[in-house]
Structure 1
Amino acid sequence: MQSLMPTMDRYLEYVSVFSIILLSTALAGCPSKCICSKNKVKCVEKSLFSVPNFESLENEPDIIDISSNEIDYIQNFDFSFDKAKYVMILYLNDSKIIDIDDTAFKELINLREMYLSNNLLSDLPKNAFKYNKNLISLDLSHNLFRNMPKIISHSLKTLNLINSGIVNIEEDRFIDLPDIEYLYLQRNNIRIIHVDMFKYLPKLIVVELQYNAWKCTCETVEMFNYLSANSLVNIEEPFQCKTKNDFFITFFDNFGTKEPIKNLCLNNAHNTSYNFGGESEEIEEMEVDQEKLTKMLKGIIIEG
């Protein structure tokens, strides 16, 4: 029995050395605090304050996940590493990002999906995604935009801006997004989108606009009628505007635009900015009797 002991000890020694060799091989070139496999680099919840140095990577990752960190700034060299061309999906969500350099993603030439949700972005450089010719999905939801950021992409198909604090959408914001099919803008503070802006989105399939602070104007009604007629919105969704008396008016019933709204807008077809919600300055300009207007709205007002 004693003669077997050296053999067993030697076996255990070999196993230990072999395990160390395998571990060293698996982690070769992998940044500290990250886990690397053949096709993925994962650095999640590591309290990182900057993007790790990927220059020494020996694997060819198609996914890099750096989510849930504390990286406030994405610099122009952060993703300029030798294996950047292999990356197809990049997670930078939940990382407290405030700013991004305009060429930060330039070397990610095969990037298809980008996740930047739940950050602190209030603006983006307009060329941020210009060089990502294969990008098809971009998630910018839950950020701090007031104005919808200017994005240039002729490949992007899905753009998510849910709950991003957007109030204004300037008239050039859709011009450089010709391939967009799915546009998510719900739960912002958008007041108006000019209907003509949608002509820049010829491939649009769905636009989600629920839970915004729409203006009670015929221009808003015209926009929703256009989107509904082209099957881009579902009129069963809660599309409402808010009056000066804090009432909510729904634009549609089961048959389309509610009759009182339709009649008001037909009678004021010469002025699409006509406000049927009773905002004082516009009502005075149009010389509309407030009491008569209130009676006409009784059938279409829903209390908030």
Structure 2
Amino acid sequence: MCSDVLVMVLLPVLRAQEGPPAPPCPTSCLLCSQEAVICQRLSQIIEAPGSTQALLLTEGSISRVQTSSLSDLSNITVLGLSQNRISELGQEAFRNLPFLQTLLLDHNLLTGPALEGGALKGLSQLEVLALGHNLLSMIQADWFKGTEALISLKLEGNLLRNVDSGSFPLNGLRDLETLDLSDNLIDRLDENSFNGLVSLRTLDLSRNRLSSAPAEAFSYLSWLGNLNLDLNSWNCSCELLELVELLSTFIQQPDKVPELS
């Protein structure tokens, strides 16, 4: 899990940098300092010092995130809320976090309406966004307004059925390099599904329900080096032959790694 990796990486570093003791925190916390708070099995977001740079609250029963919950954490760069029961995000829930670079919301109960109120609005420094293993059945370009710095977007393990020209902002994710759409229910792509993702280098569409896909959907991704189409339900058709022809050209380039079965 993303949160587990972050804990292992951050814990020794942040312990070495501990300053004055932070306010008392629950016994389930692994670390409470002026720079970082790492806790598990909480039912709500706890108060943390204003100097906090990393806040990881995982494996709990937190169900909602309101703007007021994080209003005093303007210095935070890493926020991990993985493996909770979050189904509600307040409007501009993270608006007071101007330096946030990593936001982990994977393994929760988020649906489309939770993101439609502009919860991600204004996260101009956000580089990593994990929304995998939620209950999302669609992707809407409006969710990503103001996240122009995004480099990695993880949407695996949801209920997504299609990706079309309205899924991603035309000019809003020009720095995105990694997009994970694996383990969904996607059975349709169109030629403009990834239009505007001009820097995309890794695209994972494995373990979906694709029977065909237009070659044009990938042909304009000039930086794409890793394309995973494995474990779909491919049918032999003229459209699929065009895709195979594109992948044949793709595989002849030493820096390209396509997977199709």
TM-score by length of 1: 0.64
* Aligned match of 1:14: none
Contact 1:74 1:101 in 2 (8 A): no
Shift of 1:22: 3.2
Shift of 1:102: 5.4
* Aligned match of 2:128: 113
Contact 1:177 1:200 in 2 (8 A): no
* Aligned match of 1:22: 21
Runs of 4 or more consecutive aligned structure 1 residues displaced over 4 Å after TM superposition: 25-28, 34-37
Coordinate RMSD, CA, aligned: 2.5
CA deviation string 1:183-214 (max 9, x = no partner): 00011001111112223312111210011111
108 and 216 in structure 1: CA distance in 2 versus 1, 3 angstrom threshold: same
Matching of residue 166 in structure 1 with residue 156 in structure 2 = no
From 78, 82, 89, the equivalent of 1:74 is 89
Contact 1:33 1:46 in 2 (8 A): no
Contact 1:102 1:126 in 2 (8 A): no
Sequence identity (%): 27
Distance in 1 of aligned mates of 2:199 and 2:83: 30
Matching of residue 86 in structure 1 with residue 99 in structure 2 = yes
Matching of residue 57 in structure 1 with residue 73 in structure 2 = yes
Contact 1:186 1:208 in 2 (8 A): yes
From 230, 237, 261, the equivalent of 2:250 is 230
Distance in 2 of aligned mates of 1:156 and 1:117: 16
Shift of 1:45: 2.2
Shift of 1:64: 0.2
* Aligned match of 2:207: 187
Contact 1:43 1:66 in 2 (8 A): yes
* Aligned match of 2:239: 219
Tell me, what secondary structure is at the counterpart of 1:222? helix
Contact 2:139 2:163 in 1 (8 A): no
Tell me, what secondary structure is at the counterpart of 1:183? strand
Distance in 1 of aligned mates of 2:163 and 2:207: 13
Tell me, what secondary structure is at the counterpart of 2:239? helix
Letter in 1 for 2:168: I
- Name the structure with the higher helix share: 1
Contact 1:180 1:203 in 2 (8 A): yes
Tell me, what secondary structure is at the counterpart of 1:114? strand
Distance in 1 of aligned mates of 2:48 and 2:203: 34
Distance in 2 of aligned mates of 1:168 and 1:219: 12
Q: How many residues align?
A: 213
Letter in 2 for 1:87: L
Contact 2:122 2:145 in 1 (8 A): no
Pair member with larger Rg: 1
Structure with the bigger RCO (C-alpha within 8 Å, sep 6+) is 2
Structure 2: 5+ residue stretches without partners: 1-19, 25-32, 38-43
Letter in 1 for 2:105: L
